[in-house]
Structures are given as C-alpha cells and as structure tokens.
Copies of this chain bind each other. A is one copy, B any other.
Amino acid sequence: MKNRVCELFGIKYPVIQGGMVWCSGWKLASAVSKAGGLGLIGAGSMHPDNLRHHIQSCRAALTQPDGLVLPFGVNVPLLYPQIEEIIKIIVEEKVPIVFTSAGSPKKWTPLLKEHGIKVAHVVSSSAFALKCQEAGVDAVVAEGFEAGGHNGREETTTFCLIPAVRETIEIPLIAAGGVASRASYNAAFALGAEGVQIGTRFALCSESSAHPAFKTRCRGLKEGETKLLLKKLAPTRLVDNDFSMAVIEAESRGASAEELTALLGKGRAKAGIFEGDLTTGELEIGQAATMVRKEETAAEIIADLVS
C-alpha cells in the first residue's frame, strides 16, 4: 500500500508504532522501522540525556550499509516539564520525524519544520484536528476512547472520531485507538484513515521495554478489564488492579482532584509498566489488549497486519 502517509514519512507500510511511556525505547522503534513501519521513541518517560542515548542508538540500528538511515521519530508530550531541552536535543540529533501530543501544536511546529522535521500531532477531536492543520502540521493522529493511557475528555470512539476528523481536515489522517488486528486495520481505512498508529499491540511485543509481567497480564485481558479513570485529573485508561480499584472507590464517593493527585502519587506508571508491579502500579493499556494473545515480534505484527 502506497499512500500519503507512506510518502510523507518515507515508509513502506502506513503503520506507526505509538510512542508510549516505559515501552518504546530505541529497541522497539528500530524494530518497527526495520519492518517497514514507523517506529517512535517515547520521550514521555525519559530524562533528556536518556532520550539522546535512545535517539543515537536508534539511528545506529537503522543505518544501512550504504549510509542511509531508515525513518524513525520521537513522540513528545508537549506538557513535559523539560520540553525546551527535549526539543533542542531533537533538533541537534537531526531526528527526521516528531509526533507531538498533550499540548498546543502552535508553539513548536514552526521551529521543528524550520529544521526540516516532519510533524504529526495527536488529537481526540475534530476541533483540535483543525487547529493542527492551521498550525501547519504535516499529519494528524486521531485517537479514540478505546486507546490506552491518557485519553481525550470527549470520550469519542475511534468509530465516530475518524469519519468526523476526515470530514474536517485535508491533511493526512492516522487512526489510533483500538487498532490491533487485520480486521481493525482494514476498518480504520474504511473509516477514512490513511494510516494507523498502534500502541497496545506493540507495547506487548518482544521488543517493548515493558516488564514481562505487565505484558503477560495485559495479553488477553477480558472486556471491561480496562477502565477510563482519573477523569478529574487527566483521563487515563488503566487495567483493573488494587490501585485502579482504589481510584474507582475514591471517584465513586466524589473524591476531589487533590485527593486523587495524592492517591496517584509519583512513579506509578514506571512501577507498573517497567518494573512489573501489577498490584499497585499504574497499568496503562488500551481496550485492544483483549485481542492480543501471544508473544510476537514487531516484524510479525506488521506482517500480520499488511498480509
């Protein structure tokens, strides 16, 4: 399949691996890019120095015998406290592609594009997709309610969001949220997308840096075993465990944002996803985990999707 998303990023298949905290370092990103998709390093869980290391390692892994480098990118949550330093490193290291999220596309897009970087921005509504187009981004990722981790407030599902965004913007559109099988891959294109961004299935594959216990827990989750919680802070889709049950209990009795912030504390996503604390960690994964049942490599995922 050749289309605008393939042409924009110089990739073989319109499959983007979502940048995910504690899952997508250089190993996952380079494996996806080698297999013909677009791998993204997730900067959201990295200190700036660590990000530089991942970028350099990814570039080394993707450098071909003739010196050409296969495309790869970095996902940057724009609300990151060290955002200026992150952007500086991305420019210095000549990262070719940046996916931004969680913030306004207006602030950084012009600078990134001045340096010849392709920019995509992640949104959860048509209104924000239009702002992205006006800000000059090259592509929009529209992510539905079923996605894992941080999520939009409108709760619009992929099935309703993609056709609405398609009607709203002219630039290339990438569907995210719930895409995990060949059927959903094909459905995303039927809805009007020109590419897909896949988080959950890549988060659970061999090259993901997530803890093996997290991967095992998430593979083959039952329907309803993830829930969108912490809506008074930033809505986040979490797997059922002791922590999520405590959140549900607190929210059910009307806990304030302050109380939820205290309950959340610090470092829970790292504890859950990277260190494998399945009981009190924050386990971020999408609804599509119900369809992921086996250990597989990034290359096997891409081959399955595009076969």
Assess the A227–B155 pair: CB atoms within 8 A.
Answer: yes
Bound-state CA distance A186–B189 (Å) is: 10
Q: Known: A157-B158, A224-B125. Contact between A186 and B178, CB under 8 A?
A: no
A291 located at the interface, meaning its Cβ lies under 8 Å from any Cβ of chain B in the complex: yes
Interface residues of A toward B: which range? 35 or more
- Say which one of A25-33, A111-119, A159-167 lies at the interface with B: A159-167
Assess the A157–B183 pair: CB atoms within 8 A.
Answer: no
User: Scoring A residues 251 to 285 as 1 if CB is less than 8 Å from chain B, else 0, what string do you get?
Assistant: 11111000000000000000000000000000000
A187 located at the interface, meaning its Cβ lies under 8 Å from any Cβ of chain B in the complex: yes
* Residue of A153, A164, A190, A251 contacting most chain B CB atoms (<10 Å): A190
* Residue of A153, A187, A227 contacting most chain B CB atoms (<10 Å): A187
Q: Known: A126-B223, A224-B153. Contact between A163 and B183, CB under 8 A?
A: yes
A45 located at the interface, meaning its Cβ lies under 8 Å from any Cβ of chain B in the complex: no
A172 located at the interface, meaning its Cβ lies under 8 Å from any Cβ of chain B in the complex: no
A287 located at the interface, meaning its Cβ lies under 8 Å from any Cβ of chain B in the complex: yes
Assess the B224–A154 pair: CB atoms within 8 A.
Answer: yes
Residues of A151-202 contacting chain B, CB below 8 A: 153-164, 166-167, 177-179, 181, 183-184, 186-192
Starting from the known contacts A155-B228, A159-B178, A160-B223, 14 additional A-B residue pairs (CB-CB under 8 Å) come to A126-B223, A144-B159, A146-B156, A146-B157, A156-B223, A157-B158, A157-B177, A158-B159, A159-B184, A159-B187, A160-B291, A164-B291, A251-B254, A254-B254
Q: Known: A183-B191, A190-B183. Contact between A223 and B161, CB under 8 A?
A: yes
- Residues of chain B lying within 8 A (CB to CB) of residue A287: 156-157, 160
- Residues of chain B lying within 8 A (CB to CB) of residue A227: 155
- Residues of chain B lying within 8 A (CB to CB) of residue A191: 183-184, 187
- Residues of chain B lying within 8 A (CB to CB) of residue A184: 159-160, 163, 191
Bound-state CA distance A126–B287 (Å) is: 13
Query: Which of B145, B179, B192, B253 contacts A183, CB < 8 Å?
Result: B192
